[in-house]
Structure 1
């Protein structure tokens, strides 16, 4: 039975205490109890927990909560000062205190026809000016007027980045450039520091017609620097031209450090700049997205920004109780902090969204995977869950067995697309429509089974099939009317603002990532040791790492001896 607010001791009342008490009582109810059969109460609850914004529909009715839970969660959000902090975010206040910066990725998608909030005007104007430069580059490329160093028109673009400079553009490319008819330029993505993504491109692409896009906020990331040096060397040797000449014609730079782009030899006309107040994992809307525009055209790139901007306005202007980013953030916090669910699966039922789990892993875990509050004190409760997942139809044949009948409780986001337009013959269209319906049916069935467990087995089948479906796995279903630039823009902006809301709830800074720095420094020292160069940092010695270094050296010496004998 749910506990009304009046039952909470008012002398000890805080929104957190109310939620803890409420969670204890709600634990006695399963999702089968909450969903009921076809009772009026269950129907009213399902209707009250479904929300629509444009072509995006979000259903929370398979979450382990009630309308009272949402009211308590919204009360908690208000108590944190979320509304004022949201306004501060949009007005260029310093919301990244460790780096003394604002966080204005929303400015990168602010249209020229809409007046920005006070404080954002200069940022929006700068982003719009860079967007104009980006559009000019893209149009030049599409007109066939961008020539390589040997005078031939560019046919292929290799986008070199890592993390936020790769995951966002790559996700959009996979989602919207799923057919050759949708693309205006061939774009290839390279992020792996080991060079394995670059090697096949060097074997298959024409160096005379290949343009490199180096996307790096700091312009110092080792992964991208090594990849671009290898790619430039390939172009230089293949074209029999020096590297500076190749840089002048076949390299575009995107960074917050124009001086470093110039030092590398990139002409000013081939540089796109974004400011430090756009974080890497929030940057696909900035010039980091230039390869999206090269591949799909400016109309699609602008539609992507428009979809995200519409969600920005919804987040900024809508009351908390009806605000989709606020609600999805509160539901996520409810699951991990109050229901103690440590992992969250992202399960898109559309293979065009195959990179969505990886994109959200970085967005959420790098932002809120922290245990220290803004005031320097330790967090005393769970924050960001572990994000993981895969394309749903593939996942059903991989890890759903554990989710349905194993001992781990997870929460999940199912993501589905209601409609898909395909130009094909009538018979092929009919078959593709059947496949689409089968995919949607699987998505709905799995979400139902996650929630209901054995209670989802129809009466006629009981006794004729294995039971033991544990159920009670809370999940949301995010339904897109169709997968186009505007809808995916809104979807990704929804998750971005979810991250900010949860950071406010947990008193975290979501815009820095100090936890990744030490690993990079250790890697630099170990790299120098492996390469036989001078050490920049002292190497911390441990017997496990030392024996692995010895084994690498042993195998390399053995290979070198064999090569010399041959």
Structure 2
């Protein structure tokens, strides 16, 4: 039992200080001690597992106790989490650096539900744009969208980067094996070097290809250059001018309708989302049109329903059983109090191969900051370094270091319990065996991460090398099936995790000044590479100067 606070300590007491003391005491205990066995261990495990619809989250392999959870909740309350959550959903200015609200939840608010006071306009606007998007999708699916030469559209090329690419691409990959309501193919292009667009130009029919140009600002260089290359391809291949291509084979999605119009996109082919939806939170807006094109509007609506269900859970559920709050608090406990600097995301399903990349942007671009809302430097760790890969592949890559190296990580294991496949009986039997093997590997690795050598059965001891360090805290997120509702709920869970952690750390999770500065520096250096006669205000350093010289030498030689 913890000793009572002295009079001096009572004056200095804060929930964060108490957590720091509690963490020092827990450092002496390993996960082997915490997990244990017997009735008490079973009670602990049961108390740390939660089910929400078709999503199950298990924190029992985390290095914490029920007291840890109680202290974390007290800390969250001392940071004003309930009031900040209410302000968030009411459309108050939670993004002070850009002087705006953050209302991506409005994009998934259903017409049948009354939005919170302050969100009414946002929800109505998003519903209007969703209806507009549905009409475009229906037109393509009905074979009534014709290209510049009068042929029916058969393929979509979605051009975007960051939040305008990662979310839709993740959903398209995750749900690609669902029966589609159309035969329209969807392809994603994000890299600025042209490497993704070149193969598409070789195999797609330019006369039947529709371009979705997705950019919040409509000025992002990566997207702009890819769009120009695609327009040049379509114009040259079809022997029509680029203005005609824009009128027939281009959809624009942006918060800047005037810039879409200037680009040449007709108003009837424009979809708009407002500034209060950030790029990395924009999947639910018309940015997701390519998902609806590929899988159908009903599928996209089910995705929104899953995310909205998690919104309601986040708003209505007490912190002790609130999944976004708990996921956030456990994550903050690991990086801030247990001093674990990296967090690995390990999906054991190949359809979720882009989940790690999606969460990298969502979390590190949101909370990868050291300056708080008060303008002062934060004096402790905030967002950990996020990384990962599909679990079965990762087992043959970096697991060796995790099991027997010197680095401690925290982890999220993500698995899918069931999968329906339309295939002959023998193929289904074989696939079922593969699925069971995958799940067995996932369970085994989560156990080995936590227990180390203690996870080795007695029968194998002496027959297999030991030295598995264990003590890597990990959460297990299990989806009953990988369907639109489930993945919508999962991604909204992580979104709200980010918001809760921003409150704990007093950060603005809705801006990205570091990203913007990098883009500005690149623009100046691009001009230097493109035209040496133009004077640019680049900061001179010998390393960059010699690299510019080498690039120019090789370009000339080429």
Distance 1:184 1:174 in 2: 15
2:458 corresponds to: 459
Structure 1 pair 412–4 and aligned structure 2 pair: CA distance change class (3 A): farther
Map residues 220-231 of structure 1 onto 2, 5 A cutoff.
Answer: 220-231=219-230
2:496 corresponds to: 497
Map residues 43-62 of structure 1 onto 2, 5 A cutoff.
Answer: 43-62=42-61
Asked if 1:413 is matched to 2:412, the reply is yes
Distance 2:246 2:18 in 1: 61
1:10 corresponds to: 10
SS at match of 1:217: coil
Structure 1 pair 399–7 and aligned structure 2 pair: CA distance change class (3 A): farther
| Structure 1 residue 426 displacement after superposition | 1.2
Q: Answer yes or no: is the 8 Å Cα contact 2:304–2:488 preserved in 1.
A: yes
SS at match of 1:548: helix
Name which of structure 1's ranges 533-542 and 451-460 shifts more when overlaid on structure 2: 533-542
Q: Answer yes or no: is the 8 Å Cα contact 2:291–2:300 preserved in 1.
A: yes
1:107 corresponds to: 106
SS at match of 1:223: helix
| Structure 1 residue 519 displacement after superposition | 1.3
| Structure 1 residue 460 displacement after superposition | 1.4
Structure 1 gap segments, 5+ residues each: 560-566
Residues 523-560 of structure 1 show CA distances to partners (whole Å, capped at 9, x for unaligned) of 1111111111665850111111111111111112222x
| Structure 1 residue 276 displacement after superposition | 0.1
Residues 191-221 of structure 1 show CA distances to partners (whole Å, capped at 9, x for unaligned) of 0000000000001000000000000000000
Structure 1 pair 310–510 and aligned structure 2 pair: CA distance change class (3 A): same
Residues 88-113 of structure 1 show CA distances to partners (whole Å, capped at 9, x for unaligned) of 00000000000000000000000000
Distance 1:93 1:218 in 2: 22
Map residues 417-428 of structure 1 onto 2, 5 A cutoff.
Answer: 417-428=416-427
Distance 1:517 1:336 in 2: 26
Residues 431-488 of structure 1 show CA distances to partners (whole Å, capped at 9, x for unaligned) of 1111000000000000000000011111111111101000000000000000000000
SS at match of 2:60: coil
1:335 corresponds to: 334
Asked if 1:185 is matched to 2:187, the reply is no
| Structure 1 residue 180 displacement after superposition | 7.3
| Structure 1 residue 5 displacement after superposition | 7.1
Map residues 451-530 of structure 1 onto 2, 5 A cutoff.
Answer: 451-530=450-529
Q: Answer yes or no: is the 8 Å Cα contact 2:55–2:479 preserved in 1.
A: yes
2:318 corresponds to: 319
Structure 1 pair 468–3 and aligned structure 2 pair: CA distance change class (3 A): same
1:21 corresponds to: 21
| Structure 1 residue 3 displacement after superposition | 3.2
Residues 65-123 of structure 1 show CA distances to partners (whole Å, capped at 9, x for unaligned) of 01110000000000011001000000000000000000000000000000000000000
Q: Answer yes or no: is the 8 Å Cα contact 1:357–1:388 preserved in 2.
A: yes
Distance 2:76 2:551 in 1: 52
2:541 corresponds to: 542
Q: Answer yes or no: is the 8 Å Cα contact 1:348–1:392 preserved in 2.
A: yes
| Structure 1 residue 301 displacement after superposition | 0.2
SS at match of 1:432: helix
Residues 338-382 of structure 1 show CA distances to partners (whole Å, capped at 9, x for unaligned) of 000000000000000000000000000000000001000000000
2:434 corresponds to: 435
SS at match of 1:481: strand
Name which of structure 1's ranges 529-538 and 183-192 shifts more when overlaid on structure 2: 529-538
1:563 corresponds to: none
Map residues 110-125 of structure 1 onto 2, 5 A cutoff.
Answer: 110-125=109-124
SS at match of 1:508: coil
TM-score in terms of structure 2 length? 0.98
Distance 2:436 2:546 in 1: 54
1:300 corresponds to: 299
Structure 1 pair 265–181 and aligned structure 2 pair: CA distance change class (3 A): closer
Q: Answer yes or no: is the 8 Å Cα contact 2:181–2:296 preserved in 1.
A: no
Asked if 1:91 is matched to 2:90, the reply is yes
| Structure 1 residue 184 displacement after superposition | 3.8
Structure 2 gap segments, 5+ residues each: none
Map residues 114-513 of structure 1 onto 2, 5 A cutoff.
Answer: 114-178=113-177, 184-513=183-512
Structure 1 pair 100–535 and aligned structure 2 pair: CA distance change class (3 A): farther
Q: Answer yes or no: is the 8 Å Cα contact 2:178–2:295 preserved in 1.
A: no
Q: Answer yes or no: is the 8 Å Cα contact 1:3–1:21 preserved in 2.
A: no
SS at match of 1:61: strand
TM-score in terms of structure 1 length? 0.97
SS at match of 2:97: coil
SS at match of 2:407: coil
C-alpha RMSD of matched pairs (Å)? 1.3
Distance 2:415 2:199 in 1: 33
